[in-house]
Amino acid sequence: MTAPIKKNDQRTVYIEDLTHDGNGVAKIDGYPLFIAGALPGETVEIHVLKTLKNYGFAKVVNIIEPSLDRVDAPCQYFAQCGGCQLQHLSYEGQLKWKSSMVENVMKRIGKIDAPVHPVKGMDNPWQYRNKAQIPFAQSETGAIAGFYKSKSHSIVDMERCLIQTGEADAILSGLKGELAAIGVRPYNEETHQGMLRHVVVRKGRATNEVMVVLVTKSRKFPQAEAAVAKIRELVPNVTSIIQNVNSEKTNVIFGNETVTLWGKDTIEDTIGNVRFEISARSFYQVNPEQTEVLYKQALDYAQLTGNERVIDAYCGIGSISLFLAQKAGYVMGVEIVPQAIEDAKRNAEINGFTNTYFEAGPAEEVIPRWYKEGKEADVLVVDPPRKGCDEALLNTIIEQKPKRVVYVSCNPATLARDLRILEDGGYKTQEVQPVDMFPHTTHVECVALIELK
| Interval 143-156: pLDDT, tens | 999 999 988 889 99
pLDDT tens across the length of the chain (453 residues):
678 999 999 999 999 999 988 999 999 999 999 999 999 999 999 999 999 999 999 999 999 999 999 999 999 999 999 899 999 999 999 999 999 999 999 999 999 999 999 999 999 999 999 999 999 999 888 899 999 998 888 999 999 999 999 999 999 999 999 999 999 999 998 899 999 999 999 999 999 999 999 999 999 999 999 999 999 999 999 999 999 999 999 989 999 999 999 999 999 999 999 999 999 998 899 999 999 999 999 999 999 999 999 999 999 999 999 999 999 999 999 999 999 999 999 999 999 999 999 999 999 999 999 999 999 999 999 999 999 999 999 999 999 999 999 999 999 999 999 999 999 999 999 999 999 999 999 999 999 999 999
Phi, psi of 263 (to 5 degrees): 80, -150
Per-residue HEC secondary structure of 375-438 comes to CCCCEEEECCCCCCCCHHHHHHHHHHCCCEEEEEECCHHHHHHHHHHHHHCCEEEEEEEEECCC
What are the φ and ψ backbone dihedral angles of 227, each rounded to 5 degrees?
Answer: -65, -40
List the strands of the sheet with 404-409, edge to edge: 356-360, 330-335, 309-313, 379-382, 404-409, 445-452, 427-435
CA distance 116 to 241: 44
pLDDT at 29: 93
Same CATH topology for 10-65 and 96-123+287-452? no
Asked if 216 and 184 touch (Cβ cutoff 8 Å), the reply is no
Neighbours of 215 (CB within 10 A): 25
CATH code for 96-123+287-452?
Answer: 3.40.50.150
Residues 6+ apart with CB under 8 A from 246: 197, 215, 216, 217, 252, 253, 254, 255
Cβ proximity of 45 and 62 under 8 Å: yes
For 103-134, the DSSP string reads HHHHHHHH---S-BPPPB--SS-SS-BSEEEE
Question: How many other CB atoms sit within 10 Å of the CB of residue 30?
Answer: 7
Query: What does the DSSP 8-state code read for residue 154?
Result: -
List the domain boundaries for the chain: 10-65, 96-123+287-452, 131-267
H or E stretch at 239: strand 238-245
The number of beta carbons lying within 10 Å of the beta carbon of residue 219 is 11
Report the distance separating Cα 202 and Cα 146, nearest Å.
16
Q: Vertex 305, ends 302 and 310: CA angle to 5°?
A: 50
Q: What's the pLDDT tens digit per position in 262-282?
A: 999 999 999 999 999 999 998
How far apart (Å, rounded) are the C-alpha atoms in residues 308 and 286? 30
pLDDT recorded at residue 73: 96
Q: So what's the pLDDT on residue 251? A: 87
Q: Which fold has domain 131-267?
A: OB fold (Dihydrolipoamide Acetyltransferase, E2P) (2.40.50)
3-state SS assignment for residue 211: strand
* The predicted structure's pLDDT at residue 1: 60
Say if residues 201 and 165 touch (Cβ distance below 8 Å). yes
Report DSSP state, residue 15: -
Our answer to whether residue 81 is catalytic in this structure is no
Phi and psi angles of residue 103, each rounded to the nearest 5 degrees, phi first: -60, -45
User: What sign does the CA torsion over 134, 138, 141, 147 have?
Assistant: negative
- Which CATH number applies to 10-65: 1.10.357.10, 2.40.50.140, 2.60.260.40, 2.30.30.100? 2.40.50.140
Q: Of the listed 84, 161, 389, 410, which one is catalytic?
A: 410
pLDDT of residue 151: 80
